[in-house]
Structure 1
Amino acid sequence: MFRSIYAYTAIILSIILGGTILIPLSYIDPSGRSAYRLAAAWARFCVRVCGITLETDLKELDPDKRYIFVANHQSQVDIPILMALFARFNISFLAKHSLFSIPVLGRAMRNLGCVPIDRTNPRKALRALSQAISQTGESHSFLVFPEGTRNQQLGQFKPGAIIMALKSKRPIVPVVIDGSGRILPKGSWRITPGTVRVFGMEPIEFQGNSALKQREALTRDVWNLMNNKLLESSNE
């Protein structure tokens, strides 16, 4: 229990401090590089105060490219873990629109290029997806959790992540997280220190358009690749 109280207190204070610094920083350095460095430092801090030990197997990626990172989602700690590991790719992400109404946090997320999404309104969700696609043409990579919710096993993918990748012409990087659900389980506030394994796979390049057949085939291929890796890791 002490670990949880300590971690939440430290993270909340770091959000207030970091977010306050981030807002003027985005005007001082419009390129966003300083903002992303600050966000990466915050992410590493969160990983540390939660007592997370990372074991990684990450394929080499071109630092000059921007990607669509497609990851499974086991826990709320997944975002800081992935931001810490892939910081140099200027990761932004889709997030629940309610988070953007939180003072400091919401403004900081917007300054990092994050896009609010209202899952209860399909029309607004589609607009958010279009906004995210347009931003991938700039300096952002995007992190997407295609399951749409947290699962210990790999759940069914929603089509948004693959549509984004196809329309933006960005390579997909499948990322598998194993163990974060034991650190902070869904429905619990208790943080338990432990080890999280992260596998970053080879980028998937593709040609063509976002036709339904291609979208379904790519979704199936990415799901199978990630599911096999998650099962392999879980059985070790």
Structure 2
Amino acid sequence: MKRLFGIILTPIHYILFGLILLVFQPIQWVCYCVFGYRAHKYSVDVLNFFLTSSYLALGNIISFTNKQALPLDRPKIFVANHQSMYDIPPLIWRLSKYHAKFISKIELTKNIPSISYNLKVGGGANIDRKDQRQSITELMKLGARMKENNWSTVIFPEGTRSPNGNVKFFRAAGIATILKKCPDALIVPIAIENSWKMVRYGAYPLSTFEHLKFTVLEPIEPKSGTIEEVVLKAENEIRAFLGQPPAVDTRDKKQETRQE
């Protein structure tokens, strides 16, 4: 039934999604070039509110729960599991007060209305996965901007999307690089549920009447252990919340990665 409704409603969603991107391309340009960073950030926040609202055309709803008293006077690294591209607009919108920047593939900085422009000027990190030196440099620049401006970032340490909602092992390298330039950033896990179900049938049809859930979990001080221990703790907080078995230790993670 969800697939059947998806055949009917997916085109409506895509039309809305595309129109929103086209409308906000010139709005972003004017905000950034005429009024500067704050106006541009506000336009991006509104953009992602509307992008998130376009999920409603599929009968899908989004809930975002944050019961943590997160400080506003220090940067944060939001560490989340990754299930689909539909993770991103709700996170940008609901984390807007923390100035959360994203780490994206450099390929996305071209030819996508609104999204590419924001990636170029919004202050995040655009990395070339084929160029390790460039990737490290970009992450260090992001860490420096976070420290200087009290910004935050969102990182998906799995490195790829989970097609079935099962959390993949988290890699610590990217977080470690950011912490070198922004050592006081608070580590904040976020558990994402059911985003993968929207694309369970592929790009067409999208699934309908799903409930996407985003839950901010207990933050972790970066100095409470080694970076590997801290990232493992964040991963296991998310796994526990989602009812999935814990990852054991970093050695097991490395072995599993080699087997993949």
TM-score range, shorter chain: 0.7 to 0.9
Alignment of 1:1-236 (within 5 A): 1-30=7-36, 32-51=37-56, 52-58=60-66, 59-102=68-111, 104=113, 105-139=115-149, 140-151=151-162, 152-167=165-180, 168-169=182-183, 170-185=185-200, 187-193=202-208, 194-207=210-223, 214-231=226-243
Q: Which amino acid aligns with 1:47?
A: T
Q: Once the 2 structures are TM-superposed, how far is the Cα of residue 190 of structure 1 from its aligned partner?
A: 2.7
Q: Report how many aligned residue pairs link the two structures.
A: 227
Amino acid at match of 1:106: S
TM-score by length of 1: 0.87
Distance in structure 1 (CA, Å) of the matches to 2:124 and 2:9? 29
Query: d(CA) in 1 for partners of 2:199 and 2:47?
Result: 18
Q: Secondary structure at the match of 1:131?
A: helix
- Residue aligned with 1:136, SS: helix
Which amino acid is 2:143 matched to? Answer: I
Gaps in structure 1 of 5+ consecutive residues? none
Contact 2:101 2:124 in 1 (8 A): yes
User: What amino acid maps onto 2:41 in structure 1?
Assistant: Y
Deviation of 1:123 after TM superposition, in Å, equals 1.9
Larger Cα-atom Rg:
2
TM-aligned CA distance change 1:174 to 1:138, over 3 Å = same
Letter in 1 for 2:33: Y
2:81–2:158: 8 Å Cα contact kept in structure 1? yes
Determine if contact 2:200/2:207 at 8 Å carries over to the other structure.
no
Instruction: Flag structure 2 segments of 5+ consecutive residues without an equivalent.
Output: 1-6, 245-260
TM-superposed CA distance for 1:187, in Å, is 4.4
Q: Deviations over 1:160-216 (max 9, x none)?
A: 3421453212101100001111122384343223211111012222338xxxx8122
Quickly say closer, same or farther: Cα 1:159–1:13, change in 2 above 3 A. Answer: same
CA contact (8 A) 1:71 1:145 kept: yes
Instruction: Work out whether residues 165 and 172 of structure 1, in 8 Å CA contact, stay in contact via their aligned partners in 2.
Output: no
> In percent, how many aligned pairs have the same letter?
23
